[in-house]
């Protein structure tokens, strides 16, 4: 199935005062080449942790990888030599767009310095030289890189690219800084970009523009993106496929259309229902996000699920394929069109303690 990225059974614990919190519980995730995959979930569901685990930048002291694999083009990044991963994968084949553009630049160096430092080590023209503090930067390559930088800055619609390089990060707005981040993520010519809630910190009015720019560019270059967000609207805008996470487990994965039209997982349905409708009514999901130190057994959503049975409390559901590319982990997937689309009254909310 030539997946670009295949995460299998990844389990990550975080160390807390009250014992290990099982932040990721055997997660599976696939990303095909050239595909934009949205990872959707409430805050605390583990999507950032998953993004960081793939990049390999989990805090060494606080996080512990308990098992599973992260296969990138066949190689398990978790078991590969860390230096090789750092030199050849990170910043080259897999790049990163962070959530907060306001603090992701060093405030004391110019934008140009920071981008050119990146190009010095990660430019597609660099070849495979091992990293060191005083590497050589041949003049002709530097010039070629510089041109590529200017071209990419124009592609992300930064006005006056040459002047931009001379300025300091704080002289730019959030939206502009995020465009710079997008440019930096594209310059090494990666195969996969991990974008961790890239528009959350931005003004609503700017979000759509940035998303459109990002999608246009990655589609043009055939780059895959793992796009985490808690906003369903964003996922709908940008993604080819959507994966829903809840409390460290993936619940459903489907192509965008199918996801929004025929959601099969009760949680997905609830999520879609909780978005304010045309008449403005808001339907919350009753209950609370579970504690990860002592998570509910079986399917972690069962305490809040209308359809939960004994089976749900005992066994974590296996992944089931409902249609082409539409997988769900549920003992009782829901049939039929989403009530959102048809406007019909949904399932009556039976209070579940």
Partner 1 sequence: MRLLALLLRRLIWFVPTLLGLLAVTFVISRVIPADPVALVAGETATPAQVEALRRQLGFDRPLPVQFADYVARLVRGDMGTSIFTRRPIVEDLTHRLPATIELTLAAMVVSVLVGIPLGVLSALWRNSILDHALRIVTVSGLAIASFWLGIMLQLLFAMRLGWTPLNGRLQGFPPRPITGFYLLDAALTWDWSTFGGALLHLALPAATLAFPALATLVRFTRAGVLDVMQSNFVLYERAMGLPRPLIVWKYILRSALTSTVTQIGLLFGILLAGAVVTEAVFDWPGIGTYAVNSIVRSDYNAVMGFTVWAGAIFIVVNLLVDIAHTVVDPRERAT
Q: Which is nearer to partner 1, 83 or 212 (CB)?
A: 83
303's tokens: 């305490």
Number of residues that bind partner 1 (CB under 8 A): 34
Residue 139: count of CB within 10 angstroms of its CB: 8
Q: How far is C-alpha 350 from the chain's CA centre?
A: 33
Q: Which stretch binds partner 1 (CB under 8 A): 9-17, 164-172, 281-289, 324-332?
A: 164-172
Kind of pairing, strands 5-16 and 94-97?
A: unpaired
Min separation Cβ 239 and partner 1, Å: 21
The answer to whether the CB of 274 falls within 8 A of the CB of 233 is: no
100 is an interface residue for partner 1 by CB under 8 A = yes
68 is an interface residue for partner 1 by CB under 8 A = no
Report the C-alpha dihedral over residues 1, 127, 122, 47, rounded to 10 degrees.
Answer: 20
Q: Could you tell me the sign of the dihedral formed by the alpha carbons of 192, 196, 202, 207, in that order?
A: positive
270 is an interface residue for partner 1 by CB under 8 A = no
Q: Which is nearer to partner 1, 99 or 249 (CB)?
A: 99
In terms of Cβ atoms closer than 10 Å to its own Cβ (0-12, 13-18, 19+), residue 66 is middle
306 is an interface residue for partner 1 by CB under 8 A = no
Min separation Cβ 168 and partner 1, Å: 6
Q: Which stretch binds partner 1 (CB under 8 A): 90-98, 216-224, 257-265, 320-328?
A: 90-98
Q: Which is nearer to partner 1, 51 or 254 (CB)?
A: 51
Ranges within 189-218 binding partner 1 (CB under 8 A): 194
148 is an interface residue for partner 1 by CB under 8 A = no
341's tokens: 């689309």
Ranges within 229-268 binding partner 1 (CB under 8 A): none
90 is an interface residue for partner 1 by CB under 8 A = yes
Q: What are phi and psi of 289, to 5 degrees?
A: -65, 135
Q: Which of 28, 34, 73, 121 binds partner 1 (CB under 8 A)?
A: 121
Q: Which is nearer to partner 1, 126 or 289 (CB)?
A: 126
Min separation Cβ 114 and partner 1, Å: 8
3 is an interface residue for partner 1 by CB under 8 A = no
300 is an interface residue for partner 1 by CB under 8 A = no
Report which DSSP code applies to 210. Answer: H
In terms of Cβ atoms closer than 10 Å to its own Cβ (0-12, 13-18, 19+), residue 113 is middle
Residues sharing a CB contact under 8 Å with residue 180, sequence separation 6 or more, in sequence order: 101, 105, 111, 115, 153, 156, 158, 164, 169, 172
CA distance 28 to 245: 10
72 is an interface residue for partner 1 by CB under 8 A = no
Q: Which stretch binds partner 1 (CB under 8 A): 66-74, 106-114, 265-273, 297-305?
A: 106-114
Q: Which of 1, 2, 133, 204 binds partner 1 (CB under 8 A)?
A: 133
CA 284 → CA 43, 70, 82, 265, 281, distances in Å? 15, 35, 44, 16, 10
Q: Which of 170, 205, 318, 351 binds partner 1 (CB under 8 A)?
A: 170
Q: What are phi and psi of 38, to 5 degrees?
A: -95, 135
Min separation Cβ 18 and partner 1, Å: 23
Q: Which of 14, 96, 172, 246 binds partner 1 (CB under 8 A)?
A: 96
The residue ranges that bind partner 1 (CB under 8 A) are 52, 55, 57, 85-87, 89-92, 95-96, 98, 100, 103-109, 117-118, 121-122, 131-133, 135, 168, 170-171, 184, 194
């Amino acid at each position: 199935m030539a997946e670009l990225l295949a995460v299998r059974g990844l389990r990550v614990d975080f160390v807390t005062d009250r014992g290990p919190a099982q932040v990721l519980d055997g997660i599976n995730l696939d990303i095909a080449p050239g595909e934009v995959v949205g990872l959707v979930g409430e805050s605390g569901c583990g999507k950032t942790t998953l993004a960081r685990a793939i990049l390999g930048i989990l805090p060494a002291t606080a996080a512990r990888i308990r098992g599973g694999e992260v296969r990138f083009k066949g190689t398990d990044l978790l078991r590969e030599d860390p230096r090789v991963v750092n030199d050849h994968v990170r910043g080259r084949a897999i790049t990163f767009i962070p959530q907060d553009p306001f603090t992701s630049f060093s405030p004391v160096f110019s934008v140009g310095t920071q981008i050119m430092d990146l190009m010095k080590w990660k430019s597609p023209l660099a070849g495979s030289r091992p990293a060191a503090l005083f590497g050589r930067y041949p003049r002709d390559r530097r010039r070629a890189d510089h041109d590529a930088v200017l071209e990419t800055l124009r592609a992300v619609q930064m006005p006056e690219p040459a002047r931009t390089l001379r300025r300091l990060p704080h002289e730019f707005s959030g939206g502009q800084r995020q465009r710079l981040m997008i440019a930096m993520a594209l310059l090494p010519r990666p195969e996969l970009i991990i974008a961790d809630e890239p528009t959350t910190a931005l003004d609503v009015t700017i979000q759509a523009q940035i998303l459109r720019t990002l999608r246009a560019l990655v589609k043009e270059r055939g780059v895959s993106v793992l796009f985490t967000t808690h906003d369903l609207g964003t996922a709908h805008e940008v993604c080819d496929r959507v994966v829903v996470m809840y409390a460290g487990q993936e619940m459903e994965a489907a192509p965008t259309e199918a996801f929004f039209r025929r959601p099969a997982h009760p949680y997905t349905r609830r999520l879609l229902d909780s978005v304010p409708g045309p008449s403005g009514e808001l339907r919350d999901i009753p209950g609370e996000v579970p504690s990860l130190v002592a998570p509910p057994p079986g399917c972690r959503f069962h305490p809040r699920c209308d359809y939960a049975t004994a089976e749900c409390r005992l066994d974590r559901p296996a992944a089931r394929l409902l249609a082409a590319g539409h997988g769900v982990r549920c003992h009782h997937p829901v049939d039929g069109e989403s009530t959102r689309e048809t406007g019909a009254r949904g399932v009556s909310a039976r209070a579940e303690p």
